[in-house]
Amino acid sequence: MTTLLVIKQMLLTIYGRYEVYITPLLKFLLALFTLLMINSKLGYMESLTKLTLVLIVALMCSFMPMNFIVLVGAVFSILHLYSFSMECAAVIGCGFLLLFLLYLRFSPKDTLVVVLLPICFLMKIPYVIPISMGLIGSPASAVSVACGVIVYYMLHYVTKNETVIAGMADEETAAKFKFIIDGLLKNKEMVVIIAAFATTVIVVWLLRRLSMDYAWTIAMIAGAVVNIMVLLVGDLIFDTNQSLLSVILGTIVSFMLVLVLQFFVFYVDYSRTENVQFEDDEYYYYVKAVPKVTVSRPDKKVKQINSKRR
């Protein structure tokens, strides 16, 4: 464990020293991966799939605010859908506009959630996001999580029904609009997942704020259990065809990943907890102090030994 703490301290030191270079690099990699994922899943407009264009746009994102990555991803998605079907582009574009207004109103700082959640869905570990946001976010983060879920299911619905939409004649514009809108509004699986993720965020946030020992660990376990229970109850009520094995395995993997987040963000030593009481002219104060676990990087001393000359 000491070795891991030393590595953690080294990484934090390196990031603090070279933050001006590391942050743009991470933005570039996130934007690049996001655009490549959009091109691989949609890819209807060939001009947008050129690697040179993707690299240039990702490089632009590295010097812009995080919200710019969300905007670029939405523009790429709408352009791809416009090349496939004007009706799809119009419906999804209106959906993106409403989500931007809702997301910017409640939780404008949770940009990573909207970007990472669709990626985590493709990696079969979306449950890591609501647990993580319950630990480091706020109740308003449930809105960002819901927006990320809606973004994924909007794009997933179009790709899933690509053949049906393409088979409709150009004269059936009204039928296309009705088919797309009904499919999005009546998606019971999306509603159940939004309810599960929002509940998980709030439960984890409430528990990790308690002053009891191991509050973060208890909150993570409770969030994972609540997530599974809500998904299974939703499956029984709405018949969403959720795979029990997939939900449990995905939640376990997500829990392990959140443990890594806890190690870097909130790693304390409860055995050295102190309860302090003091007062001033107006109040009595009862403070519980839990020390963080930190170690300093060991200094390496090189001792030079010269052989005795004769």
For residue 178, CA distances in Å to 185, 305, 308 come to: 10, 84, 92
CB 58, CB 32: distance < 8 Å = yes
Q: What is the pLDDT of residue 260?
A: 86
Query: 215 — alpha (psi -120 to 50), left (phi > 0) or beta?
Result: alpha
Which of 74-83, 164-173, 200-209, 277-286 has the weakest average pLDDT? 164-173
221-239 average pLDDT score = 90
C-alpha 246: how far from chain center: 19
Q: What is the pLDDT of residue 77?
A: 92
C-alpha 150: how far from chain center: 13
What digits encode the pLDDT tens for the residues 102-141?
776 666 677 788 888 988 998 888 999 999 999 988 888 8
For residue 47, CA distances in Å to 53, 55, 61 come to: 8, 13, 19
Put simply, whether the predicted model's pTM sits higher than 0.75 gets the answer: yes
CA dihedral 192, 194, 195, 198 (to 10 degrees): 160
281: Cβ contacts below 8 Å, ≥ 6 apart: none
What digits encode the pLDDT tens for the residues 279-302?
887 888 888 777 777 665 555 555
Pick the more confident residue, 263 or 135.
135
In whole angstroms, give the CA distance from residue 230 to residue 227. 5
Q: In the predicted model, is pLDDT for residue 151 greater than 80?
A: yes
Kindly state the helix (H) or strand (E) to which residue 269 belongs, with its residue range.
Answer: none
CB 25, CB 62: distance < 8 Å = yes
Predicted confidence band of residue 192 (pLDDT cuts 50, 70, 90): very high
69: Cβ contacts below 8 Å, ≥ 6 apart: 27, 30, 31, 34, 61, 111, 115
Burial category of 59 from C-beta neighbours within 10 Å (exposed 0-12, middle 13-18, buried 19 and up) = middle
Query: pLDDT above 70 covers what percent of the chain?
Result: 89
308: Cβ contacts below 8 Å, ≥ 6 apart: none
Q: What is the pLDDT of residue 305?
A: 62
124: Cβ contacts below 8 Å, ≥ 6 apart: 246, 250
- Report angle CA 86, 92, 97 to the nearest 5 degrees: 125
CB 145, CB 117: distance < 8 Å = yes
Considering the chain, what is the average pLDDT of its residues?
A: 84
Would you give the end-to-end CA distance of the chain in angstroms? 48
Query: 241 — alpha (psi -120 to 50), left (phi > 0) or beta?
Result: left
Pick the more confident residue, 48 or 307.
48
29-58 average pLDDT score = 91
- Which 3-state string (H, E, C) describes 155-214? HHHHHHCHHHHHHCCCCCHHHHHHHHHHHHHCCHHHHHHHHHHHHHHHHHHHHHCCCCCC
Query: pLDDT above 90 covers what percent of the chain?
Result: 28
CB 204, CB 130: distance < 8 Å = yes
Q: In the predicted model, is pLDDT for residue 195 greater than 90?
A: yes
Q: Of 58, 53, 51, 50, give the one whose Cα is nearest residue 34.
A: 58
Q: What is the pLDDT of residue 104?
A: 66
CB 293, CB 5: distance < 8 Å = yes
